[in-house]
Structure 1
């Protein structure tokens, strides 16, 4: 598996962990909270080989940026979160930055 696939999996597990953390209601639902911790652990296991190849600053920016965008989108769909128009704009800027970093980094 190449570094970019590892980075993609790290993003998936980080976002899943975040959604589970919200669903655990502050760890009131212990099983869901533990699943969140497991997802975060897997996330870091996937991120580690990615940053062996991808510059750490680029990998982290993409990981964090895509995590923000995906978590925001899923929270709107799953938890009926409301955002202001300006917040959508700033999330869009984060997405533009993550895509730009991806496009300007050697694969």
Structure 2
């Protein structure tokens, strides 16, 4: 049977990436609409994360949320802010993704 917790986790990761990527556009929360977007995105993020953790073990959910959030925010910073990660950063992101896949595939938590 399909575990809907992973859909909640995906929503949480996506909204966390959105909120974190938009923080720079708020200019210290001095601009209204980017600030509202950040607050809404983080609210949805934590709501969805709590729903995900009702069916996914906390350690698995949190590690996937953190890892894929890091990779997602880095990719967004490349697109939105023209930031260029160097080789160590790219290699670290590959390791994060590999760790998430290994944990999700082989963990019996």
TM-superposed CA distance for 1:10, in Å, is 0.4
Query: Are 1:18 and 2:25 an aligned pair?
Result: no
With normalisation by structure 1, the TM-score equals 0.90
RMSD of aligned C-alpha atoms? 1.5
State the number of aligned residues. Answer: 106
What is the aligned counterpart of 2:32 among 15, 30, 33? 30
Task: Give the 4+ runs in structure 1 shifted more than 2 A.
Answer: none
For 2:89 and 2:17, locate their aligned partners in 1 and report how far apart those are by CA, in whole Å.
Answer: 19
State how 1:1-107 maps to structure 2 within 5 Å.
2-105=4-107
**Distance between the aligned counterparts of 1:25 and 1:92, measured in 2?**
31
- Unaligned 5+ runs, structure 2: none
1:10-54, Cα deviation, whole Å (9 max, x unpaired): 001100111111222332323211210110011111011111111
Q: CA deviation at 1:93?
A: 0.9
Secondary structure at the aligned position of 1:53 is classed as coil
